[in-house]
């Protein structure tokens, strides 16, 4: 009896000393969530790949603008002319001639059915859509980083909780076995204590596997190995008067919705580009050609020409009409996709709004559950010590307390993730809005756009490649 009274309360005090989510990773120089988000913003390969995609899209604008610029071609030729005439009486070899020449031709489009202007506006819409897609990618990556960060904290706390549970049950098993040796308890009691100990060891193994998986996801999303992490508070600076206000904010700011709007604009401009193929084309053409020895009797020849060329399409096989119909159908598709995205964003806002409210009550309920489970466990132990409770009652009370603490850990994790999910669902999850970096320190897609927009020639990219 004395062995049980000394060992088991000590294990209970060790288990009760676990501070949910905070003590699990507390350290003097622990990494914060804000630092993790900054690392993810600058190092995550998904964001960097999308930034490259924006730079690729930027090049569509100078390609479209090239329709306003002249096209110049150089040419050169060198020939050998030999002739031989055969008649019924003789064969006559003509003189050999070596004509050669070079020249330059230039063409400037004056009118092409407004295709160039519409192509430029279409390319600019695609650039804007790509920037919004980048912003949406940044939001998704940052939310994944928050989730990965909180999963590591949660799983670390659960591992420590399960370790404390194994330690407590191991002491309980030894105390039960000692009392069985002196005849105070039965073999059934020993078997019950051993079964709970082995189950706790299995749960600890699962918890450690979950922690390893969460650490791997953390490394993938944030780019560094998780060290000692500081538990963050839920993000509560963004406040809305109502759910409708949050939805209105999302409709106005969410990058996924903005991207689809630009997609609709692009499709409508492509219809105008396709219709331009039915209109006349007017070009200004000029050329200079110089030939040496163009014939046996001419030594040099200089030919200069300039003029306007008007081309009026009458019938081109029907492909142009098919492209117009195709562009119109694509416009309808883009409008439907825009409606789908709006519905998805609205559903995400409603879901996140509900999770934020529910998670707050879940934390409060879990805290009350832990407090009640601790009182219950202490009471069952005291009653067990005086013979009013069985060992199974103690084991059940211990398991309920472990489950309650695990639920509290998960609820606190869910509350933080839900708060950032709401921020993401309304389109405001960015390191600038979180005040983690100044606007000038973030990636500026406009810089590359301005560098290439009016470039007439050059093979190197702005970064020197």
Q: Three-state secondary structure along 12-72?
A: HHHHHCCCCCCCCCCCCCCECHHHHHHHHHHHCHHHHHHHHHHHHHHCHHHHHHHHHCCEE
What does the angle CA 350 – CA 352 – CA 356 come to, to the nearest 5 degrees? 120
What digits encode the pLDDT tens for the residues 80-92? 887 777 777 777 6
User: Does residue 435 carry a pLDDT above 50?
Assistant: yes
What digits encode the pLDDT tens for the residues 316-329? 899 999 999 999 99
Sign of CA dihedral 240, 241, 242, 246: negative
Q: Please tell me the least confidently modeled range out of 73-82, 201-210, 349-358, 374-383.
A: 73-82
Q: Is residue 405 included in any domain, yes or no?
A: yes
Q: Is residue 322 included in any domain, yes or no?
A: no
Predicted pLDDT of residue 16? 41
What digits encode the pLDDT tens for the residues 284-314? 999 999 988 777 677 788 889 999 999 999 9
User: Does residue 15 carry a pLDDT above 90?
Assistant: no
Predicted pLDDT of residue 239? 85
What digits encode the pLDDT tens for the residues 151-210? 999 999 999 999 999 999 999 999 989 988 888 888 999 999 999 999 999 999 999 999
Q: Is residue 326 included in any domain, yes or no?
A: no
Of 72, 113, 110, 121, which Cα lies nearest the Cα of 456? 72
User: Does residue 23 carry a pLDDT above 80?
Assistant: no
- Containing structural domain, residue 121: 2-69+115-278+337-453
Instruction: Please give the average per-residue pLDDT across 326-343, as a whole number.
Output: 96
Predicted pLDDT of residue 220? 94
Predicted pLDDT of residue 37? 95
Tokens 């009350």 -> residue: 368
Predicted pLDDT of residue 430? 93
Q: Is residue 397 included in any domain, yes or no?
A: yes
Of 284, 282, 281, which Cα lies nearest the Cα of 106? 284
pLDDT tier for residue 458 given thresholds of 50, 70 and 90? confident
User: Does residue 7 carry a pLDDT above 60?
Assistant: no
Cβ(407)–Cβ(369) below 8 Å: yes
pLDDT tier for residue 464 given thresholds of 50, 70 and 90? low
Instruction: Please give the average per-residue pLDDT across 318-343, as a whole number.
Output: 96
Instruction: Please give the average per-residue pLDDT across 408-427, as a whole number.
Output: 96
Phi-psi region of 191 (alpha: psi -120 to 50; beta: other; left: phi over 0): alpha
Q: Is residue 320 included in any domain, yes or no?
A: no
User: Does residue 1 carry a pLDDT above 60?
Assistant: no
Q: Is residue 286 included in any domain, yes or no?
A: no
pLDDT tier for residue 236 given thresholds of 50, 70 and 90? confident
Instruction: Please give the average per-residue pLDDT across 82-108, as a whole number.
Output: 81
Instruction: Please give the average per-residue pLDDT across 388-392, as a whole number.
Output: 89
Provide the CATH number for the domain around residue 220. 1.20.1600.10
SS3 for 319-346 is HHHHHHHHHHHHHHHHHHHHHHHHHHHH
Predicted pLDDT of residue 29? 63
Instruction: Compute the distance between CA of residue 392 and CA of residue 196 in angstroms, rounded to an integer.
Output: 10
Q: Please tell me the least confidently modeled range out of 7-16, 20-29, 42-51.
A: 7-16
Instruction: Please give the average per-residue pLDDT across 359-380, as a whole number.
Output: 95
Q: Is residue 202 included in any domain, yes or no?
A: yes
Q: Is residue 306 included in any domain, yes or no?
A: no
Average pLDDT, the chain: 89
Cβ(228)–Cβ(31) below 8 Å: yes
The residue among 374 and 14 whose pLDDT is bigger is: 374
The residue among 80 and 145 whose pLDDT is bigger is: 145
Element (H, E) at 395: helix 391-425
- Which is it for strands 281-292 and 300-311: parallel, antiparallel or unpaired? antiparallel
Report the domain count for the chain. 1
Tokens linked to 341:
């995205």
């Amino acid at each position: 009896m004395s062995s049980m009274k000394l060992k088991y309360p000590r294990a209970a005090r060790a288990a009760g000393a676990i501070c949910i989510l905070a003590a699990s990773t507390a350290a003097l120089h622990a990494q914060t969530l804000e630092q993790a988000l900054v690392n993810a913003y600058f190092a995550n390969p998904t964001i960097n790949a999308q930034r490259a995609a924006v730079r690729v899209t930027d090049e569509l604008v100078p390609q479209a603008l090239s329709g306003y610029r002249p096209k110049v071609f150089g040419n050169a030729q060198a020939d050998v002319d030999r002739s031989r005439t055969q008649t019924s009486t003789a064969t006559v070899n003509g003189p050999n001639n070596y004509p050669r020449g070079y020249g330059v031709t230039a063409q400037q489009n004056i009118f092409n059915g407004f295709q160039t202007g519409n192509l430029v506006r279409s390319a600019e819409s695609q650039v804007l859509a790509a920037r919004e897609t980048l912003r949406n990618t940044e939001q998704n990556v940052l939310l994944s980083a928050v989730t990965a960060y909180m999963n590591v904290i949660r799983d670390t706390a659960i591992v420590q909780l399960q370790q404390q549970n194994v330690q407590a049950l191991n002491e309980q098993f030894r105390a039960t076995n000692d009392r069985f040796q002196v005849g105070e308890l039965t073999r059934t009691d020993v078997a019950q204590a051993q079964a709970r100990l082995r189950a706790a060891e299995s749960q600890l193994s699962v918890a450690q596997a979950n922690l390893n998986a969460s650490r791997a996801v953390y490394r993938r999303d944030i780019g560094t190995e998780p060290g000692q992490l500081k538990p963050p508070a839920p993000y509560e600076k963004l406040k809305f008067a109502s759910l409708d206000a949050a939805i209105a904010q999302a409709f106005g700011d969410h990058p996924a919705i903005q991207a689809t709007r630009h997609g609709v604009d692009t499709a409508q401009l492509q219809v105008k580009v396709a219709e331009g193929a039915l209109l006349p084309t007017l070009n200004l053409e000029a050329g200079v050609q110089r030939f040496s020895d163009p014939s046996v009797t001419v030594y040099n020849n200089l030919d200069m020409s300039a003029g306007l060329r008007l081309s009026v399409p009458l019938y081109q096989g029907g492909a142009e009409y098919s492209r117009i119909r195709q562009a119109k159908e694509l416009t309808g598709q883009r409008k439907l996709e825009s409606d789908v995205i709006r519905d998805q964003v609205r559903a995400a806002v409603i879901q996140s709004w509900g999770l934020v409210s529910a998670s707050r009550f879940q934390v409060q309920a879990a805290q009350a559950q832990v407090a009640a489970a601790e009182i219950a466990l202490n009471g069952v132990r005291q009653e067990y010590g005086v013979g009013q409770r069985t060992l199974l009652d103690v084991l059940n009370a211990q398991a309920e307390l472990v489950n309650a603490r695990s639920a509290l850990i998960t609820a606190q994790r869910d509350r933080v993730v839900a708060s950032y999910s709401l921020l993401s669902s309304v389109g405001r999850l960015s390191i600038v809005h979180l005040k983690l970096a100044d606007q000038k320190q973030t990636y500026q897609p406009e810089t590359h756009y301005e560098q290439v927009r009016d470039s007439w020639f050059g093979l190197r990219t702005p970064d020197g490649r």
